[in-house]
Structure 1
Amino acid sequence: MSETIAARLLTLHDRLARAALDCARDPRAVTLLAVSKTYDHNAVRNIARLGHREFGENYLQEALDKQRALADLDLVWHFIGPIQRNKTRRVAENFSWAHCVDRLCIAERLSEQRPADAPPLNVCLEVNVSGEPSKGGVPADAAIALAKQVSALPRLRLRGLMAIPAPTRDRACQRAAFARVRRLFEALKAHGLPVDTLSMGMSGDFEAAIAEGATIVRIGTAIFGPRFYPELAAHR
């Protein structure tokens, strides 16, 4: 096992705990989701040997290949990439979480295609909090209506919101973007929706996300090291 990966994971847990304690939060209220896209199944196995169980994947075929290679392990798989109509069945059948639901038609297909003998699929609505035209996600002013529709679908459990704000190194700007997501999350609860999850924050901004209430932070390079992108067209 790579000692570097073990050291990175330990350092990251320390940073996560400090970030939570700095804002009077319990570190146990924040789940570290290891984003393993582009890393091979051996890298995932190394992290799992350290006791980590929650892994996030963006590329569907790559994720399914890893799941087969790691079928002997008790892991929780999150799909955190965009979900097109031709992906819904395999996401519904092979993952515990889907983080990027942003259209009712996608939620309906996930609901219809979730196996009846499986637990409900945990879903988060992706919100385009920065209004970037190049990004997916439901506009903030349409999120409450969509959340109400999704929450009524069978075999799905609406857990909360997911967001990827425009990247910036300015801590105040990071917090302001995450605060907008938190306020929307609080509005969902005010409308009676039993949401409990804010999936936001990555390697470069997760401390700001935790300060604004993140319950899942999605971390890749800070655990696994530099990411290399081979030709992935066949895996998307």
Structure 2
Amino acid sequence: MSEPQFPPLLTGLDAEGRDPFVLACEMAEAGCDAGTVVHSVQADRLRAAVIFAPEVPLAEAAAMLVVCGVGLQNALGALAPPEVAVHLQWDGRVRVNGGSCGALTLFANTLNPDEIPGWLVVGVDLALIRLVEAPGDTPDVTSLYDEGCAEIDPVGLLEAYARHMLVWLNRWSDEGNRPLHAEWSGLVWGVNEAAEVAGRAGTFMGTDERFGMLLRDGDTTHLVPLAALVEEGP
């Protein structure tokens, strides 16, 4: 398997059998440079963790989950057959033709939304093929292979993800949330459906301008900020 090639602002590092999310968080805590992509390509899954060094409070920096999600969707959209639909759940899960095919996870060294994180890591875990159960056993879970994407080279997908992510990172840095929100809003899964997140339940009505989830419970609409999805780094 060839080594992935990344754009000049990004540096790749093979996790070499370790969990790339844990390794990326450890490296970030030790002062590793932002732009490092720790990756692991296995027979059944593709995992990658990108290290960021935010200059804004966590409430704003949490947008990196959206930046990476849109980058991944754009990469899959470019490489997958045209009939394959890729959507993003608000909580980070990735839907391919309606089935759950992986997830993005956000880690930081603080959970305080008003604090500027010392580092932030976005992890991507994508199912390439299911090695055990048959598709009918778990109808809501799928893989790229099950959805007709067997021809996608996982290393090529990782490279495309990095390129598209970087494009959206630059747009977000230059133009703010508006263009990113416009792109993401057309990809969000489950609007007008029941949802439960961060201890609240209701009907998912969409998001505010900072990507916060709007949950309607009866006559009351609750806002769940995107930073509620942040996990403290291992």
TM-score range, shorter chain: under 0.3
TM-score (norm 2): 0.25
TM-score normalised over the length of structure 1: 0.25
Higher helix share: 1
Q: In proportion to residue count, which structure has more strand?
A: 2
